[in-house]
Amino acid sequence: MRKYVFCFSFLTIIFAFANAQAPKGQTSSEPVLPYSPSLDVSSMDKTVDPCVDLYRYSCGGWQKKNPIPPDQTSWSVYGKLYQDNLVFLRGMLEEAAQPSADRNAVTQKIGDFYAACMDEGAVEKRGISAIQQDLVAIGSLKSAKEITPLVAHLQMASTGYSKTMFNAGSTQDPDNSEQVIADLDQGGLGMPDRDYYTKDDAKSKETRERYLQHVQKVFELSGDSVAAAKTNAETVMRIETALAKASLTRVERRDPHKLVHKMKLADLTHLAPDFDWAVYYREMQYPEFAILNVDAPEFVKELNKLLASESVDSWRTYLRFHLVDSSSPYLSTPFVQENFEFYRKYLRGAKEQQPRWKRCVQYVDKDLSEALGQVYVAKVFSPELRRARSTW
């Protein structure tokens, strides 16, 4: 569903970006952030009584001038600012992608990454072979004991690790804000959350059917026959539905006390003995830890039951889908398009795919954010500009 996010033009804080002027000596060919006034009264609609509709009074003018772009799922002054920044970053990355003696290790890294992403011909040529090594590893799975190191590898290597069986990471200790501890949470779903699998209204049923079609299509694109893809899609849906039913609801997750279940690794092993947690954390290169938090113990119990009850073949099917599905945005056109059709178009309401340059800029920002940030700061906050601003 496409929507407008809150506007409130008179409360919009864009001072840093609005006043980011190009340093002296900067040529017109270099990227420059656009100027936007911090207070733009034309964004208001003064024909509306603010006591009746404060939102339209504050933002009505802006909405009329800014329809939701066809490649966006929502729109706001912040979204527009983000898009302006993407254009600026594009200029930086295109400059960094050009072979030059002036490039340092950081600019070369982000430039080469961006150039590789923009090389659509090479991406189309590789197709699904880009993830062939991981597909072979999944196909070679022979026993339940081999699932643990394989899942660890996929979570480390895959772009969509959070969708593979469960979520894992770190969090602040709920009892000590100065300490960070390991965290284990529910996950493993291809749709946004449990409600998509459990609600019985007509729209939810339609969405599940549409998702089933999407899963089948992903298997077909991966080389399965129509019949095999249909069977495999039903396997994925069965496993995900079981995981969803054991997951906490959105309402339950709003209560922080329901997410606190601190335990030792031995306790987690007792909770779910069919997954080798010691091997998992070693393969994931976690530092040694004495305690972790398990957000949803009932989910972990259900995962353990599924590891015992589902065949190895079923788990191969489940893991294969999530690998291909999470990798689809980075593969050849048929995968990219199918991913867009379900996730951004059907679920979220976008009408058009984002242009490739925009997606590539966002991939660099996501995967090489620290490196990109260094170049961004050097460009926008040069020593000359910092000295000028210090006099404000």
What is the predicted pLDDT for the residue at 381? 83
What is the predicted pLDDT for the residue at 27? 43
Q: Among the listed ranges 101-110, 158-167, 175-184, 296-305, which one has the minimum average pLDDT value?
A: 158-167
What is the predicted pLDDT for the residue at 30? 61
| Structure confidence by residue, pLDDT tens digits, 222-273 | 999 999 999 999 999 999 999 999 999 999 999 999 999 999 999 999 999 9
| Structure confidence by residue, pLDDT tens digits, 39-83 | 788 889 999 999 999 999 999 999 999 999 999 999 998 898 899
* Rounded (to 5) percent helix, strand, coil in the chain: 60, 5, 35
Does pLDDT of 22 surpass 50?
no
Does pLDDT of 165 surpass 60?
yes
What is the predicted pLDDT for the residue at 6? 55
Does pLDDT of 7 surpass 70?
no
Residue 183 near residue 304 (C-beta atoms within 8 A): no
Q: Among the listed ranges 38-47, 182-191, 294-303, which one has the minimum average pLDDT value?
A: 38-47
User: Six-digit token pair at 260?
Assistant: 């606190």
pTM: 0.87
Distances (CA, A) of 332 to 117, 229, 259, 323: 11, 19, 40, 15
What does the alpha-carbon distance between residue 171 and residue 217 come to, in Å, rounded to a whole number?
36
What is the predicted pLDDT for the residue at 383? 79
Does pLDDT of 26 surpass 70?
no
